[in-house]
C-alpha cells in the first residue's frame, strides 16, 4: 500500500501538482489520467523521487519514505516507462537482473527470477535470454522493460505510459498481459496514461487530474455514474459511456438460461419454444450449439421460426469475454443473441441484446 499525502510541485512559481492526496491499497491498480500537462508524470515521478517534492509525504507500507535516500527507495519501487530505457549493450537477462544484482542476490536466484519473469511475459527463455535490445520488437522490448521493473518483487510498480509508443494491436496484447500479470502477482500499481480505454481496461481505481489537482478518485463504474463535476463528465466523453462501460462488463454477468432443443425435437416443439422465447438454440448430441431459429434481425415471412442459421464459432461467447466484444459480435452477425459455451463448447446459457439493454439501464439508474 502506498499513500501520497499532499504532494505538491512548484516550478518557477507555477504550481504544477497541487496538494494531491491519494491512497493506493495493496493489490490496487491505480490509473492517473487527465489532459496533457495536468501533472500526471510529475506526480508519478515524485513517488520515486525522480522529481524532488516541493512539499508532501510518501508513506510506503506504513513507513514514511519521504526522506529515505532515493536509491534505497527505488529498490522498493519498480519503474517502467514508454521509452523503455533498456541498456543497449546488455542482454535481456542482464537488463532484467539490474535491481536483483544491486541487491546482491545470489547468481542462481537471479537466473531463476529471470526465467520466471520471461515465462510470465510469455517470452521463451532459451530464445530471448541472450538477445540484445536491438534484436527485439517494440512489444518484446516493452515486456522486458516491465519484467525488469518487477524483477526484485517491488512493493509498488510505477508505470508511465509504458505502451504509448506501440501500435494498437501490440498495445492491446500487452494491456491484456499486464492485466493478467496484475491478477497473478497482486502487485500495487500506479499507471499513467492519457487513454481512457486503456484506463478502463486496467484500472481498479482511476484518479482524474486537472491542472495539477486531483478532481476525482474512484472505481471506474462510480466515475461513470457519479462524475464529480462537469470536467469529469466531459472528460469521460458522454457519448461513449455506455460502450466504454461494456469493456468493463463480462459475459458471465449477463448470461441467462438459453432456450434449447436437440435434434430429436419436432418442428411443432421448436415453434412452441420460439413462440414463447423468440428463438431456440439447436444443440448436437454433446450439447454444443449448432443452429438457431429466430433471433435474426430479419425473419422469413410467415413462419415465426424464420430460417435456420448455422451457429458459427465467431458467434459464440465465453463467460470471460467482455460484453463489448459480445455486443460487437451480435452487431457484426446481425443477431439478437449469442450462445455462451463452456470449455467443452457446450451450451451453458446465452446473452441477448435485450439483456444488455436491461442491465445497462439498470446500471444507469443505480
Minimum Å gap between C-beta 134 and ligand ATP is 26
CA dihedral 122, 48, 161, 234 (to 10 degrees): 130
Binding region for ligand ATP (CB under 6 A) out of 23-31, 40-48, 82-90, 304-312: 40-48
Q: 3 or 18: whose CB is closer to ligand ATP?
A: 18
By CB under 6 A, which span of 31-39, 254-262, 300-308, 358-366 interacts with ligand ATP? 31-39
- Count of CA atoms in the C-beta half-sphere (13 A) of 241: 20
- Taking CA atoms, 258 is separated from 134, 279, 284, 346, in Å, by 52, 9, 15, 12
Partner residues linked to 283 by β-bridges: 262, 289
Judge whether 238 and 63 are in contact, CB under 8 Å.
no
Contact region with ligand ATP (CB under 6 A), list: 38-46, 79-87, 276-284, 327-335: 38-46
Pattern of binders to ligand ATP over 194-233, x per CB under 6 A?
x---------------------------------------
Q: Which residue has the cell 516491465?
A: 146
Binds ligand ATP (CB under 6 A): choice among 2, 41, 65, 140: 41
The answer to whether 276 contacts ligand ATP (rule: CB under 6 A) is no
Q: Where are the alpha helices (DSSP H) in 188-347?
A: 196-202, 220-225, 230-236, 241-246, 251-254, 267-277, 323-333
With vertex at residue 254, the alpha carbon angle to CA 172 and CA 333, rounded to the nearest 5 degrees, is 65
Is residue 11 packed enough to be buried (19+ CB in 10 Å), middle (13-18) or exposed (0-12)?
exposed
Q: Contact region for ligand ATP (CB under 6 A) — 33-41, 60-68, 97-105, 284-292?
A: 33-41
Of 10, 25, 26, 37, the residue at the interface with ligand ATP (CB under 6 A) is 37
DSSP assignment string, 152-175: T--SEEEEESTTTTS-HHHHHHHH
How is residue 53 annotated by DSSP? -
160 and 80 Cβ atoms separated by less than 8 Å = yes
Q: Which is nearer to ligand ATP, 45 or 279 (CB)?
A: 45
Return the residue of 4, 31, 38, 224 that touches ligand ATP, per CB under 6 A.
38
Q: Nearest distance from residue 3's CB to ligand ATP, in Å?
A: 20
Q: Which of residues 40, 74, 148, 244 is near ligand ATP by CB under 6 A?
A: 40
Shortest distance, position 12 Cβ to ligand ATP, whole Å: 6
Q: Considering the complex, what minimum distance in angstroms separates the CB of residue 51 from ligand ATP?
A: 7
Judged by CB under 6 A, the chain residues 10 through 29 that form the site for ligand ATP are 11, 16
Q: Smallest distance, Å, CB 42 to ligand ATP?
A: 3
Candidate residues 20, 31, 39, 99; the one interacting with ligand ATP per rule CB under 6 A: 39
Q: Helix, strand, or coil here: 245?
A: helix
Stretch of 32-40, 258-266, 275-283, 286-294 lying at the interface with ligand ATP (CB under 6 A): 32-40
Q: Which is nearer to ligand ATP, 40 or 171 (CB)?
A: 40
Q: Which stretch of DSSP H or E encloses residue 122?
A: none
Site size with ligand ATP, rule: CB under 6 A: 11
The minimum distance between CB 48 and ligand ATP, in angstroms, equals 14
Closest CA to 195 of 35, 328, 22, 20: 35
Examine residue 42 and tell whether it contacts ligand ATP (CB under 6 A): yes
Task: State how far the Cα of 172 lies from the Cα of 202, in Å rounded to an integer.
Answer: 11
Cβ-in-10-Å burial (0-12, 13-18, 19+) of 146 comes to buried
- In the complex, the smallest distance separating the C-beta of residue 158 from ligand ATP, rounded to whole angstroms, is 13
- CB-CB contact of 190 with 111 (8 Å): no
Q: Does 133 bind ligand ATP (CB under 6 A)?
A: no
- Window 158 to 197, contacts with ligand ATP (CB under 6 A): 194
DSSP state of 278: S
Q: What are the residues binding ligand ATP (CB under 6 A)?
A: 11, 16, 34, 36-42, 194
Amino acid at each position: 500500500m502506498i499513500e501520497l499525502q499532499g504532494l505538491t510541485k512548484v516550478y518557477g512559481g507555477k504550481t504544477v501538482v497541487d496538494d494531491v492526496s491519494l491512497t493506493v491499497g495493496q493489490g490496487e491498480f491505480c490509473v492517473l489520467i487527465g489532459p496533457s500537462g495536468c501533472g500526471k508524470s510529475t506526480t508519478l515521478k515524485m513517488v520515486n523521487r525522480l522529481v524532488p517534492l516541493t512539499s508532501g509525504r510518501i508513506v510506503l507500507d506504513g513507513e514514511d519514505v519521504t526522506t529515505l535516500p532515493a536509491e534505497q527507495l527505488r529498490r522498493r519501487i519498480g519503474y517502467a516507462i514508454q521509452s523503455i530505457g533498456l541498456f543497449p549493450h546488455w542482454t535481456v537477462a542482464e537488463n532484467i537482473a539490474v535491481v536483483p544484482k544491486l541487491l546482491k542476490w545470489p547468481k542462481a536466484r537471479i537466473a531463476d527470477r529471470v526465467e520466471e519473469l520471461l515465462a510470465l511475459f510469455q517470452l521463451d527463455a532459451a530464445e530471448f535470454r541472450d538477445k540484445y535490445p536491438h534484436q527485439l520488437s517494440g512489444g518484446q522490448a516493452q515486456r522486458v522493460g516491465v519484467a525488469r521493473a518487477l524483477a526484485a518483487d517491488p512493493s509498488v510498480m510505477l508505470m508511465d505510459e509504458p505502451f504509448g509508443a506501440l501500435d494498437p494491436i501490440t498495445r492491446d496484447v500487452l494491456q491484456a498481459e499486464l492485466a493478467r500479470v496484475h491478477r497473478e502477482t497482486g502487485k500495487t500499481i500506479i499507471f499513467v496514461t492519457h487513454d481512457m480505454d486503456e484506463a478502463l481496461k486496467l484500472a481498479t481505481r482511476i484518479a482524474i487530474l486537472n491542472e495539477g489537482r486531483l478532481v476525482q478518485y474512484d472505481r471506474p463504474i462510480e466515475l461513470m455514474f457519479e462524475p464529480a463535476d462537469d470536467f469529469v463528465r466531459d472528460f469521460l466523453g458522454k457519448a461513449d459511456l455506455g460502450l466504454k462501460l461494456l469493456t468493463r462488463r463480462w459475459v458471465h454477468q449477463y448470461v441467462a438460461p438459453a432456450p434449447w432443443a436437440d435434434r430429436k425435437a419436432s418442428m411443432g416443439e421448436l415453434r412452441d419454444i420460439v413462440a414463447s422465447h423468440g428463438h431456440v438454440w439447436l444443440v448436437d448430441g454433446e450439447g454444443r450449439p449448432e443452429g438457431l431459429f429466430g433471433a435474426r434481425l430479419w425473419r422469413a415471412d410467415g413462419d415465426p421460426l424464420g430460417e435456420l442459421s448455422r451457429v458459427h464459432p465467431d458467434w459464440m461467447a465465453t463467460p470471460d469475454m467482455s460484453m463489448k466484444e459480445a455486443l460487437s459480435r451480435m452487431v457484426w452477425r446481425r443477431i439478437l443473441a449469442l450462445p455462451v459455451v463452456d470449455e467443452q463448447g457446450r451450451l451453458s446459457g446465452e446473452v441477448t441484446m435485450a439483456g444488455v439493454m436491461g442491465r445497462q439501464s439498470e446500471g444507469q439508474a443505480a
